[in-house]
């Protein structure tokens, strides 16, 4: 990896936008290289890989989970994870709430939206999200706190399409904020933008970007 890539990205990001360094598949040495220049927030997408890294790395690292989460693997991350970006269904929300209760935590999560063209991507539709947020099932969940939204744009070189999708995500955030979180100052995070599209995401209102390749590739 080249520390220059990291420094360059840090310089171009507005100070209020949080950088999640996506360290999936990266050895602990590379994580330590960034840690030693001050990076504290890392994103992983596999529960067991995250668990092993959490065990072996400094305890002041803020670990974010950004991948597909199977309900039987929540237990490997629930006691220390800082933020789960990728809550793509109400069933997963319920399962995380249950596991968080077992370890006596309230865990911060994001609602993942499906806005991309690819069917393979996961996430709520705006209709599903509203149904969920209005449900008693949700009001009974005492061990999760919804702090914002997350989504991935389509994997395409059509940057107009990508920008349109980021605008959609921002509009979903605004709509949910008005309808359900007007009195909830913690509902303020918009996680969008990856290596190839984060500058557009920031222009469209991202408060958090998730960058892997652009930091770690040689």
Which residues of the chain form contacts with ligand PLP (CB under 6 A)?
22, 24, 45, 66-67, 152, 194-195, 210-214
Q: Which residue, 69 or 141, is less far from ligand PLP as judged by CB?
A: 69
Q: How far is the CB of 104 from ligand PLP (least distance, A)?
A: 28
**Which residue number, 67 or 148, has a Cβ lying nearer to ligand PLP?**
67
Contacts of 22 (CB under 8 A, 6+ apart): 42, 43, 44, 45, 66, 194, 210, 211, 212, 215
**162 vs 211, which CB is nearer to ligand PLP?**
211
- Least distance (Å) from ligand PLP to the CB of residue 135? 26
CB of 211 to ligand PLP, least distance (A): 5
Measure CA 24 to chain center: 13
Between 100 and 192, name the residue whose CB sits nearer to ligand PLP: 192
Our CB check for ligand PLP shows the closer of 71 and 195 to be: 195
CB of 9 to ligand PLP, least distance (A): 10
Please report how close the Cβ of residue 73 comes to ligand PLP at its closest, in angstroms.
16
SS (H, E, C) 100-163: HHHCCCCEEEEEEECCCCCCCCCCECHHHHHHHHCCHHHHCCCCEEEEEEEECCCCCCCHHHHH
Residue 85 token pair: 């970006």
The burial class, CB within 10 Å (0-12 / 13-18 / 19+), for 34 is buried
Which residue in the shown chain puts its C-beta closest to ligand PLP? 212
Give CA 84 to chain center in angstroms.
6
Structure tokens at 101: 């209760």
Q: Which residue has the tokens 């865990």?
A: 107
41 sits in which H/E element:
strand 41-44
Nearer to ligand PLP, 103 or 217 (CB): 217
Q: How far is the CB of 209 from ligand PLP (least distance, A)?
A: 8
**C-alpha–C-alpha distance, residues 26 and 15, integer Å:** 25
């Amino acid at each position: 990896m080249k520390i220059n890539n990291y420094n360059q990205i840090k310089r171009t990001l507005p100070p209020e936008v949080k950088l999640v360094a996506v360290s999936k598949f990266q050895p602990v040495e590379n994580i330590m290289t960034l840690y030693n220049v001050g990076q504290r927030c890392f994103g992983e997408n596999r529960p067991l890989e995250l668990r092993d890294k959490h065990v072996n790395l400094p305890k002041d690292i803020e670990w974010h989970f950004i991948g597909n989460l199977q309900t039987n693997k929540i237990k490997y991350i629930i006691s220390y994870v800082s933020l789960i970006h990728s809550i793509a269904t109400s069933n997963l929300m319920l399962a995380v709430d249950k596991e968080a209760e077992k370890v006596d935590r309230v865990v911060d999560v994001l609602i993942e939206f499906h806005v991309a063209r690819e069917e393979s991507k996961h996430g709520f539709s705006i209709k599903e999200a509203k149904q969920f947020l209005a449900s008693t099932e949700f009001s009974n969940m005492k061990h999760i706190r919804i702090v914002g939204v997350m989504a991935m744009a389509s994997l395409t070189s059509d940057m107009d399409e990508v920008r349109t999708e980021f605008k959609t995500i921002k509009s979903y955030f605004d709509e949910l904020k008005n309808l359900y979180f007007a009195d909830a100052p913690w509902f303020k995070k918009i996680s969008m933008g990856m290596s190839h599209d984060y500058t557009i995401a920031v222009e469209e209102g991202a408060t958090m970007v998730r960058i892997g390749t652009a930091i770690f590739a040689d």
